[in-house]
Structure 1
Amino acid sequence: MTSPRAVIVGASHAGAQLAAGVRQEGWTGEIVLIGDESLLPYQRPPLSKAYLADKCGVDELAIRSADFYAKQRIQLVDATVQSIDRAANHVVMSTGDTLSYDKLALCTGARPRRLSIPGADLAGVHYLRTATDVNMIRGDASPGVRVVIVGGGYIGLETAASLRALGLEVTVLEAAARVLERVTAPEVSAFFDRIHRAEGVTIRTGAAVEALVGDERIREVVLANGESIPADVVIVGIGVEPNTDLASAAGLHIDNGVVIDDQARTSDPDILAAGDCASHDMARYGRRIRLESVPSAGEQAKVAAATICEKPKQITALPWFWSDQYDLKLQIAGLNTGYDEVVLSGDPTRDRDFSCFYLRAGELIAADCIKRPRDFMFSKRTITQHLAVDRTELQLARSA
């Protein structure tokens, strides 16, 4: 009798956690973790922060040591999976080899959304998703270089902070009316706008990029209004798209990601999914959501591991996120979609710490907490337990 085999496609946060979780939940058979990078599975959030700012080496980003995988009998394979044969229960790899599975987990993550404008393929135009991407950026980011960042979301602003720490001239171009417009209240946007300008970043909002111009290498960024901005390096941070091609070709249900149920199962009971590539109905919000969040990837992976081992759990944790910029840690609890009221604790126009609480029909649904860890923990507990809140209490500082 052959040993059962669990195959995990994608070796980032979700994949690494799932591999460890399957073994922890009691899987005695083989575990194969397939990734398309030669590095050990590593943490991605520091890429735009400490790693880009040259404050740590790539070895320090490893989620777990090589010894861990060896001791847990987790086989790491550096390859790309090209297709899934659900009828035969095997995957076909870039090497041409096939690998059978009893259970398959898709942790294929997401890829940066590409610019589709003239000049987007010029040398010096970068995206930031992998350690290799950052190495290429650092190779171009020598002192005196003018960097233009397209996109004023979290990746764009984190990258701006890291490059300013290296002493580079940085301009952020945001097509919307304010930075972080899709994800935060105007007060939070204004706060980060103020902080970045004080640190020497040039921020342009309402700045739609029409073309990138250069001979072979980027020389300038042309805006829709005809203005040209000199640039030696361009970094594009305009969001990501889930990697669903493999799942879609295999006939799995796709809806802004690989659709999973609350036990991380796809439309095929032998295939699970977790992380940035997965979307699921969240009862808390009454809709299907795909979360781009390390904590959510970890929780989904733990649930998937339990499901594989027939110890069903459910995806129930409150979504939360974080962002590090300069000396500031932003911690976000919940999703603020549909808020109808904002309550502030602290003064975002003057302070370097404050909290922004989002309410809907009087109930706390989310919070952005900058250098306010106590507010963050309070918010997570209050939102999770649907506790009543007093607006006056929310306004009281909790940073002490």
Structure 2
Amino acid sequence: MKKSPTKPETMTPLPSGMRVGVDIGGTFTDLVFTNADQHLDKLKVPSTPDDYSRAIVSGIEKYLSQKNIDGESIDEIVHATTVATNAILERKGARTGLITTKGFRDVLELRRIRIPFSYDLNWQKPAPLVDRFLRCEVNERVDAAGNISTPLDKSSLQDAIQRLRDASVTSVAVCLLHSYMNPSHEQEIGETIRNELPDVYVSLSHEVLPEIKEFERTSTTVVNAYVAPLIGHYLDELRENLKRLSVSAPILVMQSNGGLIPSVTASKQPVTIIESGPAAGVIAAAEVARKGNYPNVITLDMGGTTTKASIIEQGEILRAGEYEVGSPVSVSSRLVRGSGYLLRIPVVDISEVGAGGGSIAQVDTAGAVRVGPRSAGADPGPACYGFGNQYPTVTDANLVLGYLNPDSLAGGA
């Protein structure tokens, strides 16, 4: 008996309005898929530190394949990440240079007179993200009213650029005195660097933070430059790899203040998404608390590299205008400031420690046990994964102590 020819398999169209939510951390990448009928699916995959976009693309590809769905069904991708935070914590950002006004190269190191531990005589402030030999001075001056008192010396600029070229920097921060009043010198320097070092990222302080206060502006601009190549490359790769799945939906990235910006904007000013992942967690917790009629809650978000906590009072998320990142305890409070890198940006008020499920434990020279901030991440991951890590992590300790449920975690959540 002759069989009738089978019809070619076709992709199943989903109801319009399908959205993908992505939270990428140093250890795991979580994806949530929802559509117009409010059906929700979730997926967790290991992060891929060599190219964080790969985890997202493979997760979306796996879901589309399982559901027999075409990538064109995706209308929007909303993205939160701790990639920038983890890069600062683990000092894995770009090799960064700084160009500043003559006489101000040490603003980044002098900081503000504030230490987190008043009676710790052995306390040392964190090493600047830009080494001193990569902090270059140019002869120029703009006064507080924005008037040019000393024109930009082209010779000193060329010397600075040559030094940074010889040092193979991949990112440059430019922060000149009073550039928030008159950015002409910064703009000229930025244009010159882009012409002579076309592969180098450039962050200009009048674009990142056009405000008074020299240290805050310098610190924020340097952090922006430090993570820009990492975030820029990651988002570019993500957009290109999604095209392979026929996904052309816009990518929105959550900011530290809880708002959303296009991925192109996030690539240019990644300092605004430093606390992207933690902010998203607090906003989600606030919504759950609201639906459960809990006006006052403490949120806790533990990942593989960091753990974050925040407070919601009377249904309102606490916010701050400054934040310190990269310290053992990152907070917005002035009372415990000084051990991290200051960011003058609007943020959801979050306290963060460099310890998570993948944090590596070690014994220091005094015999005390220390946990973090180094993390085993997704590759090779905790020793119990069996992928070659020889160092104990928090997850390994929980396994040995019998704290891990062999059937499910958190009731299967």
The normalised TM-score by structure 2 is: 0.30
Bigger radius of gyration among the two: 2
> Larger strand proportion, structure 1 or 2?
1
> Larger helix proportion, structure 1 or 2?
2
The normalised TM-score by structure 1 is: 0.31
